[in-house]
Amino acid sequence: MLAPLLIASGDGFAGWQALNDTIMGGRSQGSVQAGSGGLLMQAFVEPEGGGFVSCRSPVFDPPLDLSAYGALELELDGDGRRYKLALACRDGVAGLTELIPGGLRWVAEFSTRPGGTSTVVIPFNRLTPSVRATPVGLPVRFDPSGVIRLQILHSKFGDMGGRNPGFRPGELELLIRSIHAVV
């Protein structure tokens, strides 16, 4: 059996940055800090405007080749909110991906429990194509051999475009201890 592939843990989250709804006129504020325990995202989420806060990796160069794996496994200390994992892949549709404002992302929602460390596994076959929280009806296929960025969001929008039932405005704290690719 193939061993899990460590993508990031502890100080390995250095270079990850906050990306919040202020890029589209919102007022949510968030920050991230990498340390020995993982990546700590702290934020205050405002529902008006964009209604999201997030943390995202730097661009992976070369892209991550996860084709031998079937899922991502996140070890985290949650707060009872529902989050979204988004993956960006290198362009596989003749340059069209980057022409889409906001870019095509492969997303899946996941729940956290308040207090304590938990493990969340997100199979690649659960990922759906999306642009700015709107599902895409184009005939596109997820390519695990070319993952260029990871992002974790708390947004008022779910991965199918409707409201996220686990969205809560206000103070937020999420500690991402590690991310692995698993079979």
Tell me, what's the pLDDT at 131? 78
Quick check: 12 pLDDT over 90? yes
In contact, 170 and 44? CB cutoff 8 Å: yes
Rounded CA gap, 94 and 98, in Å?
10
Q: How many residues does the chain have?
A: 183
Q: Specify whether the CB–CB gap between 178 and 72 falls below 8 A.
A: no
Q: Token pair 């968030």 is at which residue?
A: 30
Closest CA to 16 of 8, 25, 27: 8
Tokens 């997030």 sit on residue: 54
In CATH, which superfamily holds the domain spanning 5-182?
Galactose-binding lectin (2.60.120.430)
Which tens digit of pLDDT belongs to each residue from 40-57? 999 999 887 778 999 999
pLDDT tens column, 98-137 = 555 557 899 999 999 998 899 999 999 999 998 766 667 7
Domain borders along the chain are 5-182
> In this predicted structure, what is the pLDDT of residue 139?
67
Q: Is 72 helix (H, G, I), strand (E, B) or coil?
A: strand
CA-wise closest residue to 127 among 104, 97, 102: 104
On the question of pLDDT at 182 being above 80, the answer is: yes
Q: With beta carbons less than 8 A apart as the criterion, state whether 60 and 12 touch.
A: no
Among residues 138, 142, 148, which one has the least CA distance to residue 123? 142
